[in-house]
Amino acid sequence: MGGTDTILQVTDLSKTFKLSAKQQRLENTSEKLRRAVDRLSFTVRKSEIYGLLGPNGAGKTTTLRMLATLIRPDSGDALVDGYSVVHEPQQVRSRIGFLTSELKLEEFFTPSYLFDFFARLHNVDPALAAAHKQRLFERFGIGEFSEVKVASLSTGMKQKASLAISIVHDPAIIIFDEPTNGLDVLTARVVTDYLAELRDAGKTIVLSTHIFSLAERLCDSVGIIVGGQMSVSGTLDEVRAGKDLEDRFFDLYQQQAGEAA
């Protein structure tokens, strides 16, 4: 398990949520608990892009949140760069960049200020942060908007600013929930190109998506999650097994649904 080039080791990760009475009624179920993530295990190697694939509600976001230490697993653990998300969340936080459309930038401030603010929270040396800021802002074309309040930025520009700010501390691992959600084609391209660039520079990226074409184009390895469980995980070619990724997913999905029935 996990050779020397393993940077993320997820073992039997589980998370259960309580369903409210309203949710129970909406989903027409008498279950009080919902297993969002069920004994999930997978490994991610250094300098690859790993994609968690699955339909909505499969448990992708919950898994990523646990990796980002925002929520605690009920059981199981994940070692991020050797540090446990359960026992050493502080260490994990300083090694990851986490990005999702749910985490927002404070609209009142400018990208430039927020970059500096998060650099301080991450304890980045000010001189280092300044150089980093210039490089990233230039790369994303934020330069001329750097002193404009986030509230006045376009959705695409906001996303690019969020991306720049989430990697203010030059993390080894970048966790990205639905990287292209809500973005136009151009911005989505900028983001995915940059992820590939980061990978080439030696960073590791874990992303979630329900867009199979994106995974096929971008990911080196993928894991398919159905109903909170890992159906298959491996390199893109291993998982595809000679088929189109989407077809492969439907095979697995039907197989799992059949087992459940």
Q: Exposed, middle or buried: residue 72 (CB in 10 Å: 0-12, 13-18, 19+)? A: exposed
Instruction: Assess 131 for contact with other proteins (CB under 8 A).
Output: no
Instruction: Assess 157 for contact with other proteins (CB under 8 A).
Output: no
Q: Which lies closer to other proteins via its Cβ, residue 56 or residue 186?
A: 56
Instruction: Assess 27 for contact with other proteins (CB under 8 A).
Output: no
Instruction: Assess 87 for contact with other proteins (CB under 8 A).
Output: no
Instruction: Assess 253 for contact with other proteins (CB under 8 A).
Output: no
Binding part of the chain for other proteins, among 69-77, 138-146, 238-246, 252-260 by CB under 8 A, reads 69-77
Q: Which lies closer to other proteins via its Cβ, residue 63 or residue 69?
A: 69
SS3 content of the chain, % helix, strand, coil (to 5): 40, 25, 35
Q: Which residues contact 96 (CB under 8 A, 6 or more apart)?
A: 67, 68, 80, 171, 172, 173, 174, 175
Instruction: Assess 147 for contact with other proteins (CB under 8 A).
Output: no
Instruction: Assess 56 for contact with other proteins (CB under 8 A).
Output: no
- Choice from 36, 124, 142, 164 touching other proteins (CB under 8 A): 124
Secondary structure in 3-state letters for 45-94:
ECCCEEEEECCCCCCHHHHHHHHCCCCCCCEEEEEECCEECCCCHHHHHC
- Choice from 32, 108, 155, 247 touching other proteins (CB under 8 A): 108
Instruction: Assess 217 for contact with other proteins (CB under 8 A).
Output: no
Instruction: Assess 72 for contact with other proteins (CB under 8 A).
Output: yes
- Choice from 33, 90, 186, 260 touching other proteins (CB under 8 A): 90
Query: What's the full length of the chain, in residues?
Result: 261
Taking the C-alpha atoms of residue 128 and residue 125, their distance in angstroms, rounded to an integer, is 5
Instruction: Assess 84 for contact with other proteins (CB under 8 A).
Output: no
Q: Are 145 and 153 in contact (CB under 8 A)?
A: yes
Tokens 């999702």 belong to which residue? Answer: 100
Q: Which residues contact 241 (CB under 8 A, 6 or more apart)?
A: 248
Which residues on adjacent β-strands are paired with residue 230? 225
Minimum CB separation of residue 177 from other proteins in Å reads 11
Minimum CB separation of residue 120 from other proteins in Å reads 4
Instruction: Assess 70 for contact with other proteins (CB under 8 A).
Output: yes
Q: Listing from the earlier edge strand, what are the strands of the sheet with 75-80?
A: 33-45, 6-18, 75-80, 83-84
- Binding region for other proteins (CB under 8 A): 4, 68-72, 81-83, 90, 93-94, 96, 98, 102-109, 113, 117-118, 120-125, 128, 170
